[in-house]
Amino acid sequence: MIALLFIVPILAIATSIFVYQLNGKKEIIKLDMVQFFYAFLLAPILFIWIKSVLYVLLRSELNFVLSPGQLFLIDTSFSLFFLYVFAFVVMHSLTKSINLKVGQDPLHDIFKHSEYFHLWISHLVIYIGAGVLFSCVSIANAFFPLIIDVPRIWFYVVLIVGFITGLLAFMGIWMSDPKQHAAHFLALMKFCFGSLLVVHIFAFFLLGIRFDPSYGLYWTVTVGYLALIMCFFFAHKSQRALTFIERVSDWFKHQMWDKRVQLFMEQKIENVVKKGKNG
């Protein structure tokens, strides 16, 4: 374990030096490959490494013993501080990627470049990532029931909260739609959350999950996904429901809400031109 703690930073530094030579040569999801490596590979690895070093020091290298509460407080404080640092690392990776593009092409469209993250990539990661995380918690609850004893009424209250959360999640997804002609954000969201709901339904039949508070997390997430998919269904089938959704969403829209660019039109036009030449 101690040897591994020494090897990780050495490998990280060596890899960083090697990868830096590729600066400005390749991209991953519109980020320079080197900046993507720093932000999404190197930084998380260093985060886990520093937490491991901190854990070893606090647990075995001190002359006094810390209580679980004190360990939790120290670990949480460090994690919070690192999250702030990581936020600036990600901002630097984005702005550096744009800087490299402008260095290669002074007429590079900075606004369009940033809109890939604002309109598309960030929304996909936030919603799909949140859905997968909640699903992991709920499926874990399906295997490991909670040991709680609460009145039945509170179980139903929690289910209602889950249903309302699903409705709010739908409104968030609906308002986040970048409305790209060549890519369908809402269809992708409906497919992803529909798939997660199907996984929960299969878990119900395969694991024999009871309808009681011990499986409260599972049922809350499942009801939330059910509400979300129901909203998708009625939004596409009922003009009255669609009108209601638009009215509600209008309450939250600011003056420049619909300011966006078509990110995929140029690529679509290029594909049409290539097909025409090959034909």
**8 A C-beta contact, residue 139 and residue 207:** no
pTM > 0.75: yes or no: yes
- How far, in Å, CA of 269 to CA of 125, rounded? 27
Mean pLDDT across the stretch 16-30?
Answer: 82
The predicted-structure confidence for 76-114, as pLDDT tens digits, reads as follows 999 999 999 999 999 999 999 999 999 888 888 888 888
The pLDDT score that the predictor gives to residue 263 is 78
- The residues spanned by each domain of the chain are 2-108, 117-262
Can you list the alpha helix ranges (DSSP code H) found in 208-253?
216-237, 239-250
| Three-class SS state of 23 | coil
The predicted-structure confidence for 124-147, as pLDDT tens digits, reads as follows 999 999 999 999 999 999 999 988
Is the per-residue pLDDT at 26 higher than 90? no
The pLDDT score that the predictor gives to residue 27 is 87
**8 A C-beta contact, residue 86 and residue 47:** yes
